[in-house]
Structure 1
């Protein structure tokens, strides 16, 4: 042992000696070189590409065209789930828009989806009805065809958005119509296939004739999922026609339709008496295989955008109407063991108009003033003919006005001040869905309340 120890010391001493000799040889040579070499000018001719994500203290802006993630982007949810500010709670990222135990797939800064706002071109697209954070926004039915940027604003810091934006705002900015030099359309086709028989196919076409422009597209997404009973099929189509105004403004009408058929993951656990070895263990689902739970969603939306620059500012009119229908299918057993259909159907309607004027006094000063009226309606029915079911009914109506001024004091310091007023009328169903009895005695079928601040 002593000999090995001495041998190791000897080897290390030799290595140290070699290093010292090397330094003594190269050291003077480095010290003697004092000549300065001037390099020729370097010219970069390649065009710079825009950054896919831009972070500022005010917001995070994501460029949808350049954003890259694992696999092809199927919907807006695929862009959001990678952001640190968003909390993705879906059971599987292969089945977009799945809902687990009454909660939507996305939370923001610890807030459920009824405590932050999702908007298109500044207009709230939340649905009325539901409970807790249920059915507020189905991101799987929002394809990326016409979305140019995704803006994420943390916290209730903007007077331009509704008061419910406690957690923040997700604003989807649609593409600005542009002029084309030729009538030949720009066609883009993509297809993808990955594990669990997951397929994503899409085709888009953009073009124009003179001042008239158009966009159209179709997308097909399907997957078997990796959980038991988690298949999904989603089809989305859209179309837009527009006219470019002489003063760099435009008017455009957009129509989009999406249909999604999705299964709900079920328990898969031998301890629960129901197990299929081909799938991962699941023990906390609300359903079993025999119940065949599914939920199908269909969404149709119409949107009119009008942008008109003028000496008094840039006027922006946004009018919209949408319908979204959900069908929940599941089998249940009553007390005597008889199996029955325990599903339900509900349709949500959203309509409104928003007008705002953006006045840019200079590069440092910008003022936005505007007003918005919005209505949320829904209808509800169950397979058992619940007495609490109802036809189309107005649930929420809001009227708001706002003003905001932004002052860029220095390039790294901006002051924003705003004021918003909202008046909201709400109607709440006062009947029990199971018994049909009044939940609050002495109150009518629909309880109406008004709020303003």
Structure 2
């Protein structure tokens, strides 16, 4: 009996030892994933051809256990290029690895501020924010921001004048004046500046661009009806000591950027930059005796200072000067013909100054800061023989208090906006507006993957009284990889007619304002679904948006009632903008990245005819279906990359004209595609080149009766497609750290 007991004990002891040895055979892999020194949260980490895998924490950290052997460790995350490395696991040992991932063109791990006025990750924001990174902007070099964002799904550049090239940005089919453009969160580009000022923002200044589709008047007030584009300028402490970028095209366009960012001290960082763009080559490929694109010479000077004060309180200030000389007109026009009634030309001189600052108040018990801006815009122009001179000044300040308690994050603010505007237009405008406002929002994280944001704003307009704008944003996570966002909000906009609708100044039509124009109002609902997925050894994400906006008091230009008039009035009925958008991003294990998107939309007005019967009219210059794509591939060993970008535009309703100037009332489908090759050497030197408008597609003349530009039928608003033919370019970038 004793022998049997001894044998059982020995057997049990041997089992325990063998089990302990078996457990000890496993090795541990620990590590951290970062990109640009910032942790990459929720990245997928797997051992290839096994079932062993995990996701990183919010700090980018991960731990895996596996039996000894040789493995291929793979890491992937949406917005970053995939990573893999062969590792060897020894029995009982811990293998530590630090992984640095490279950002792809559009980064879902980006920190954003536009949706809530405070820093948060894209994935955590209750408001959907799309981010365009500096890397994305380099895939298709341009001389201004407005052209750079054309490859964003649901965002469209619209040319409003076929002579001088006035353009604006449409979001989900809504016209340019409904989009509020911010620089560093300040309403710098608005009203008069929307006509040409947007073109004068060089991409070299941009760190990232944040886009919100849908009303945001609760935070940003008037003009944020269709959406917000927030241009975040680069921080001096993150810029190279010296950077240089220049490119030249076969259309004789020359663009140059130069930036100098000296390190003054550990608490003071600054940058000085300049941009110069010149295009003096007259093209007339459509044979209408007018320049196809305007001639242009402009300069932009920028400086930004960033201060780290005592106890890490921050302060920053930036200033920019922008000057432009723009011309579009007949091929025979010369500067001596400015204002002439014999030789037609549109000549615009623009001078602009901007000041932007932020100051964190030294209050230890709470987070309190003041943001401020000032801009002055002067336009001196002739449209044929018609002079248009305008001056605008905007003073803006924003006091923000942010406090977190429990699961609540409270933001309270007050704004003061004072603007003056004077011109010599038909309305002889001399306008002064003081607009004070207050707003508050609370973000309640009532569950680990759920949050509810509720906010409201109250502004007072001297002419229109109090205007109230509420918002509700709900974010709900389903598992680790699926997120839904429901946004409900209102928007309002006070119109500056002659500064926003260029058709009121150019051409031969007479402007007729029917009644006293009232502020436009909108009600919006947007549902966003985001799914992060893995496909084999690669990863990606799918975004689906459903949007619906209802307009009241919408102000629309009526081109059809009388071919000699542009009639402006508040819509008696209502307007609708509705649709669905889908966007897919995918990063393969090999260095290939693809972003594709499509938007199906229905934008129309319900109005009354002469008999009082209601009818539906589709909005002009709004494609029912449009799409974008970005495809990039890197040859890492050769330091060579290829980027293929493009846009597909569906048919659009166009203005109607009477005999003998009838034109098609629907545009054809078309696509604009671009290719770039970039070669990088050590020490930050790059050589790049490519082709724009690869298939050389342009519309016919955008002008009506161009042979008689001083006649009653001349019109410049028939621009629905590209006007510039194929051109090749070559450029150089050099960053010295």
**Cα deviation code 1:52-89 (max 9, x no counterpart):** 32456723343442224554242221332221221211
Which of these residues, 370, 391, 407, is aligned with residue 444 of structure 2? 407
Q: Say if 2:141 is the partner of 1:72.
A: yes
Q: Provide the rounded CA distance (Å) in 2 between the counterparts of 1:192 and 1:37.
A: 54
Match of residue 278 from structure 2: 222
- Give the 3-state SS of the residue equivalent to 2:165 in structure 1: coil
SS in structure 2 opposite 1:255? strand
How far, CA to CA, are the matches of 2:362 and 2:153 in structure 1? 37
Taking structure 1 as reference, are residues 117 and 411 closer, same or farther at Cα in structure 2, changes over 3 Å only?
Answer: farther
Which is richer in strand?
2
Q: Which residue of 1 aligns with 2:578?
A: none
Contact 2:441–2:456 (Cα < 8 Å) also in 1:
yes
For the 8 Å contact 2:147–2:157, the answer to whether it is kept is no
CA–CA distance in 2 between the matches of 1:305 and 1:196?
A: 41
Question: Superposed, which structure 2 residues align to 1:243-322 within 5 Å?
Answer: 243-264=307-328, 290-308=343-361, 310-322=363-375
Rate the CA distance shift 1:377–1:160 in 2: closer, same or farther, 3 A. same
- Identify which of 170, 187, 191 aligns with 1:124: 187
Match status 1:380 vs 2:444: no
Partner residue in 1 for 2:127: 58
Q: Does 1:109 align with 2:163?
A: no
| Cα distance in 2 between the residues matched to 1:400 and 1:203 | 39
One of 152, 155, 176 as aligned partner of 1:86 = 155
**Greater relative contact order, per chain length (Cα 8 Å cut-off, separation 6+):** 2
Q: Structure 1 residues 222, 188: CA separation in 2 closer, same or farther (over 3 Å shift)? A: same
Q: How many residues align?
A: 360
What secondary structure does 2:147 align onto? Answer: helix
- Cα distance change of structure 1 residues 146 and 407 upon mapping to structure 2, 3 Å threshold: farther
For 1:315 and 1:226, how far apart are their aligned partners in 2? 54
Moved more, 149-158 or 219-228: 219-228
CA distance in 1, matches of 2:520, 2:383: 38
Q: Deviations over 1:204-233 (max 9, x none)?
A: 011332222211001111223755422222
Alignment partners' CA distance in 2, 1:197 and 1:450: 44
Q: How does 1:164-179 map to 2 (within 5 A)?
A: 164-176=223-235, 178=237
| Deviation for aligned residue 1:311 | 4.3
Aligned to 2:391: 347
Question: CA 1:312/1:120 → structure 2, altered by over 3 Å: closer, same or farther?
Answer: farther
Question: For the structure 1 residues 146 and 197, does the alpha-carbon distance in structure 2 shift closer, same or farther, using more than 3 Å as the test?
Answer: closer
**Alpha-carbon contact 2:329-2:345 (below 8 Å) kept:** no
**Shift in Å at residue 45 of structure 1?**
6.0
Shift of 1:162: 0.8
Change in Cα spacing, 1:416 to 1:324, as seen in structure 2 (3 Å) is same
Counterpart in the other structure of 2:528 = none
Structure 1 residues 380 and 292: alpha-carbon distance in aligned structure 2, compared to 1, 3 A threshold:
same
**Unaligned stretches of 5+ residues in structure 1:** 1-35, 269-273, 275-286, 332-340, 434-438, 442-446
C-alpha distance after superposition, 1:311-348 (max 9, x if no partner): 444323111111111222233xxxxxxxxx32221111
1:451 Cα offset (Å)? 12
Q: TM-score, normalised by structure 2?
A: 0.43
Return closer, same or farther for 1:197/1:448 CA change in 2, 3 Å cut-off.
closer
How many Å separate the matches in 1 of 2:269 and 2:369? Answer: 19
Measured against aligned partners, the alpha-carbon deviations of 1:375-394 in whole angstroms (never above 9, x if no partner) come to 22112137xxx8x646xx44
Instruction: Report the CA distance shift for 1:288/1:155 in structure 2 as closer, same or farther (over 3 A).
Output: farther
Match of 1:371 in 2: 414
Mapped contact 1:75–1:142 kept (Cα < 8 A): yes
Residue of structure 1 equivalent to 2:299: 235
What is the TM-score when the length of structure 1 is the normalising length?
Answer: 0.67
| Aligned counterparts of 2:269 and 2:309: Cα–Cα separation in 1 | 11
Q: Which residue of the partner structure matches residue 10 of structure 1? A: none
User: Are the counterparts in 2 of residues 247 and 308 from structure 1 also a CA contact under 8 Å?
Assistant: no
Partner of 1:193: 248
- 1:358 pairs, out of 385, 402, 425, with 402
Shift in alpha-carbon separation, 1:127–1:40, aligned structure 2, 3 A: closer
Distance (whole Å) between structure 1 residues aligned to residue 195 and residue 352 of structure 2: 13
Q: In structure 2, what is the Cα distance between the partners aligned to 1:82 and 1:376?
A: 33
Aligned residue among 142, 152, 155 for 2:214: 155
How far off is 1:203 after superposition? 0.4
**Aligned residues of 1:425 and 1:448 also touching (Cα < 8 A):** no
Deviation track 1:249-300 (CA, whole Å, cap 9, x = no partner) reads: 322221101112222366x9xxxxx9xxxxxxxxxxxx99930222232211
In the alignment, is the contact (CA less than 8 A) between 2:390 and 2:424 conserved in 1?
yes
Partners of 1:142 and 1:158 in 2: CA distance = 24
**Alpha carbons of structure 1 residues 425 and 141: separation in structure 2 relative to 1, 3 Å:** farther
Aligned partner of 2:383 in structure 1 is 330
The corresponding residue for 1:280 is: none
- List runs of 5+ in structure 2 lacking aligned partners: 1-66, 73-85, 88-96, 109-121, 285-289, 333-339, 465-494, 497-504, 506-512, 522-737
Q: The residue matched to 1:247 in structure 2 has which SS?
A: helix
